[in-house]
């Protein structure tokens, strides 16, 4: 089975179009069509239904997709295992991370890594933590540094690095910030701006409210913490932000007896052979986790 044809098949399945696959693989649309025709001829099945501009997987295409991922992952795994025998830390490291962690946690580690291992080509993709999680599961990223899922998948190894306390916040002049003895019920009555409903942070806050029979009044939604902070600072809504982001622009709303926190860390696929580059970056993250634990003790 031709690997170039398989890559074209996966690209169409993921982008939903032949033109999108061509852009991803830097090929013309006729070249993509030729590869799919070759694959369909080899397998003697039709893989896509083409209805006007719409492209969808046939039953055979849906059956092939997970096997195509598996074939390419095994090949990549074999290449990494052979490359690792040299002991060199080089090659390409595909790293997925959230915007918040990439901006606020990773820069010192990335700086140290690139200085220590200049032969490694870093391929960094900024994604929502939940999307990065799927990238690891499907083998499209080797390592992800994200907000950890409360219940990780059985095929995912999750390692905490940073404990990330979360605080309820509002603009300094907001009634919630200027009133004493505010309760969760008081907060829930005002408009809120939350991360998207599919995010781990959203589930943490919603779960707390639901446990007390409350439903947040979510007026706006965005997955960018910096945007949430801006919306809070101008008085549009309250929200929950990592404590590390608090400054004079927003005011913390203390709730006695309530402390929210999430774990930030890295994940890898348990059945994937890790490159020497990934192992070296994980060692930096493990060292950072030890520093964070020591600081918490003192």
Residues of the chain with CATH 3.40.190.10: 82-160+263-297
CATH of region 3-78, choose from 2.40.50.100, 3.30.750.24, 1.10.3720.10, 1.10.10.10 = 1.10.10.10
pLDDT score at 298: 63
Instruction: Give the residue with greater pLDDT, 15 vs 86.
Output: 15
Q: What stretch(es) of the chain map to CATH 1.10.10.10?
A: 3-78
Class of domain 163-261: alpha beta
Q: List Cβ neighbours of 149 (8 Å cut-off, separation of 6 or more).
A: 129, 130, 133, 156, 158, 200
pLDDT, one tens digit per residue, over 250-267 is: 999 999 888 899 999 999
List pLDDT tens digits, range 142-155: 999 999 988 888 99
Contact call for residues 125 and 141 (beta carbons, < 8 A)? yes
Which of these, 45, 40, 54, lies nearest to 8 by C-alpha position? 40
| Residue ranges, CATH 3.40.190.290, the chain | 163-261
Hunting for tokens 């774990």 — which residue is that?
263
Overall CATH class of domain 82-160+263-297? alpha beta
Residue 132 — φ and ψ, nearest 5°?
A: -60, -35
């Amino acid at each position: 089975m031709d690997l170039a044809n398989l890559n074209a098949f996966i690209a169409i399945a993921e982008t939903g179009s032949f033109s999108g696959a061509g852009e991803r693989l830097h090929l013309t649309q006729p070249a993509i069509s030729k590869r799919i025709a070759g694959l369909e001829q080899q397998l003697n099945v039709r893989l896509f239904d083409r209805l006007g501009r719409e492209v969808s997987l046939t039953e055979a295409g849906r059956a092939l997709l997970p096997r195509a991922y598996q074939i390419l992952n095994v090949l990549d795994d074999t290449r990494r295992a052979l490359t690792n025998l040299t002991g060199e830390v080089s090659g390409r490291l595909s790293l997925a991370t959230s915007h918040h962690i990439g901006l606020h946690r990773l820069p010192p580690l990335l700086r140290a890594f690139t200085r220590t291992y200049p032969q490694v080509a870093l391929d960094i993709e900024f994604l929502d933590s939940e999307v990065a999680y799927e990238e690891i599961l499907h083998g499209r990223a080797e390592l992800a540094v994200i907000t950890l899922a409360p219940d990780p998948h059985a095929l995912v190894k999750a390692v905490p690095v940073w404990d990330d306390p979360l605080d309820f916040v509002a603009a300094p002049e907001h009634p919630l910030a200027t009133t004493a003895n505010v309760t969760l019920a008081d907060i829930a009555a005002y408009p809120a701006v939350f991360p998207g409903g599919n995010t781990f942070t959203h589930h943490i806050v919603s779960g707390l409210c639901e446990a007390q029979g409350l439903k947040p009044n979510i007026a706006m939604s965005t997955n960018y913490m910096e945007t949430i902070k801006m919306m809070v600072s101008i008085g549009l809504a309250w929200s929950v932000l990592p404590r590390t982001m608090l400054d004079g622009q927003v005011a913390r709303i203390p709730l006695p007896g309530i402390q929210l926190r999430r774990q930030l860390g890295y994940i890898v696929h348990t059945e994937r052979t890790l490159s020497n580059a990934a192992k070296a970056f994980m060692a930096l993250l493990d060292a950072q986790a030890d520093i964070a634990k020591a600081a918490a003790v003192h």
